[in-house]
Amino acid sequence: MSIPQSGGGLIEQPEQLAEYLASGCKPPEDWRIGTEHEKFGFDLARHLPLPYEGPASILAMLEGLRDRYGWAEVREAGKLIGLTRDGANVSLEPGGQLELSGAPLETIHQTCDEVNEHLREVKAIADGIGVGFMGLGAAPEWTHEQMPVMPKGRYALMTPYMDRVGTTGKMMMYRTCTVQVNLDFASEADMVAKLRTSLALQPVATALFAASPFFDGRVNGWKSWRARIWRDLDAARTGMLPFAFEDGMGFERYVDYALDVPMYFVYRDGKYIDALGQSFRDFLAGRLPALPGELPTFSDWADHLTTIFPEVRLKKFLEMRGADGGPWRRLCALPALWVGLLYDADALSAAWDLCRDWTAAERDALRHDAARYGLSAEIRGRTMRDLSRDVLEIARAGLAARARSGAGGTVPDETHFLNALHEIVESGETPADEMLARYDGPWKGELSPVYSEYAY
């Protein structure tokens, strides 16, 4: 989850909220790629999650990365809770999941290099303290009671609130991991086109990256339990945003939606002030119970936007949020998929043609079925496997049209980053299917091999 925002003056007019989003518009030559991924750390000796402090701990990881690789500290209330370097951040999810929020980069070659460098650094520190990290969508065995709690104020507020608004919020916070990519838009119309297309096709990413068939030490009946968890987290701030497909969609319409999402907090002077369930509309009028008489700043608005969790999230860029965390090849494949679909005009048009006449009910049903059945999900008589094959061909064409070379010009474009996904479609097996086959076969119904076979 995001670190606190900073900067910006008071918001004096409601129109400034939409203007804030619109300020993200960039010409295509300035579009960038920002990849985020989370991973579970565990004690190699006992296969238990890492505490915050101790010899084999999250704190030891952060200090090791800081001291050996030149990361700068991010502290909250005196506690080391993150790192920053060259436009990238390392941060902590509530249960100690370690997240890299990458710098905005021009090509997938660069973002994949960044991911690989980060994982090499993490492994170097982890090996020295008896720690491992693995890429899955959900913790396969650990119970909620076994999970540590990171010393971040927003998590202390959010945790009890989750039980008031849903049934699975604490599972999401403490026992799931994702990989995301953040992408730019040129204009309001371009934002709407990309938002609609990526929302409708987000279940394709859910199916292709499904990697959470185990939870609480057993098979859970879903290919992506992480995606299942999101369905019952908090209806006010999750889902497929059906309004985005209606006439009149734009920055102002998203602002209206965001203003109706209840607040979590206000960040002031290094502390999180409880504003749970309160209204940002009241904040705009100086009537927020948590801070009576005060008006919000642009940082408050930026923070509020980070507490909204639809399948695609709009800030000054678009966040693709539908995929489970996974092994390194798939970490590079996720940005390749969405850059290929959204950063070339012909590819974007072709992708929209695949889904433009789907109804809201069909989109939501596909979201559900992708999480449960993976490539066996269907829409209008077509399997997800066939749909995914079409989507990947469009993405490949989009990447070829971009023609962004790598490896000193010896690699002509970014299309090879899709190979991991093509393999999934051709085999008909998602990562979850692969894990289930191992569980029923060589693992002999045991989950302990997951800690070595899915380790970075």
Q: Indicate if the pLDDT at residue 6 is higher than 90.
A: no
* 203, burial (CB in 10 Å: exposed 0-12, middle 13-18, buried 19+): buried
Neighbours of 35 (CB within 10 A): 28
Q: Which residues contact 7 (CB under 8 A, 6 or more apart)?
A: 298, 299
3-class state of residue 44 by DSSP: coil
Q: Indicate if the pLDDT at residue 142 is higher than 80.
A: yes
**The predicted structure's pLDDT at residue 327:** 86
Indicate the CATH number for domain 15-453. Answer: 3.30.590.20
Q: Indicate if the pLDDT at residue 3 is higher than 60.
A: no
Cα separation, 183 vs 205, whole angstroms: 15
Residue with tokens 């990171």: 150
CB 456 within 8 A of CB 133: yes
Among residues 203, 142, 151, the alpha carbon closest in space to that of 174 is found at 142
| pLDDT band at residue 20 using 50, 70 and 90 as cut-offs | very high
CB 265 within 8 A of CB 273: yes
Among residues 279, 409, 94, 365, the alpha carbon closest in space to that of 81 is found at 94
Domain ranges of the chain: 15-453
CB 21 within 8 A of CB 315: yes
Cα separation, 84 vs 74, whole angstroms: 7
Cα separation, 334 vs 13, whole angstroms: 38
CB 72 within 8 A of CB 84: yes
| pLDDT band at residue 8 using 50, 70 and 90 as cut-offs | confident
Cα separation, 319 vs 114, whole angstroms: 18
pTM of the model: 0.97
CB 74 within 8 A of CB 91: yes
| pLDDT band at residue 7 using 50, 70 and 90 as cut-offs | low
